[in-house]
Structure 1
């Protein structure tokens, strides 16, 4: 009987450790989930506030405002626009300019503002190589 009582605290300790690890794994997965939605879907009544979302759109002209370590701007897609406040610590990409395409990742709050933790700006879709010089000599010098 004494050996059974000695095993009980050990088994309870193992159970507590396994329960804690299971809870940490589940909460970590829930926290890292990001749902990709459109601006219109974000405004629907089915959206849960304070959940991570990723939204894409075009940066509205004249809306980029840098103040007090924050950057505020507006993205629009298919006639709907979304106010975004960037609260991240990384510097914003240089390609985030009026009319550029951007993907914001963060949380949509009840105040109607999307608080972005990361911002990605899409590069220009058209690559134009530098012009080659045509007046340069083409062959090797002759002797």
Structure 2
């Protein structure tokens, strides 16, 4: 009986430890982000945040001699100015949905990384008929 109790308690401890490790790993690796509206309305000043939005058309301003960039990130309600010093992803362009990681500083996002999402479906070039109609 005493041996069986040790076995049950030991097994329970192992299950609890594994459950704890799985839950903390899952929470730490979750890719949470704020919308532009949430970031603009919140007080995350100085904290590193991830913000998802669309690059507003015509807002991209590149520095001529350095990899410095400024643009406006927007959603349906708010806009947020972004500054970034670094190399851009190939898919970065006007109207593209991006996730920007950085620090909020006085209503501006000082970006440390920019992730551009791939289109969710293939869009044919303007005026091209779908393959099934050819």
> Shift in Å at residue 128 of structure 1?
6.5
Judge conservation of contact 1:85–1:116 (CA < 8 Å) in 2: yes
Misfit runs of 4+, over 6 Å:
none
CA distance in 1, matches of 2:83, 2:102: 10
Tell me the equivalent position of 1:98.
94
Q: Deviations over 1:64-87 (max 9, x none)?
A: 111143111111112211100012
Aligned-partner Cα distance in 2 for 1:75–1:116: 11
Rg comparison, structure with higher value:
1
For structure 2, list consecutive stretches of 5 or more residues without a partner in the other structure: 1-30, 125-130
> How does the TM-score come out when normalised to structure 1?
0.59
In structure 1, the gaps of 5 or more residues are: 1-33, 132-143
Alignment of 1:50-61 (within 5 A): 50-61=46-57
CA distance in 2: counterparts of 1:48 and 1:60, whole angstroms: 23
User: Could you say which residue in structure 1 is the equivalent of 2:76?
Assistant: 78
Cα RMSD after superposing both structures: 2.5
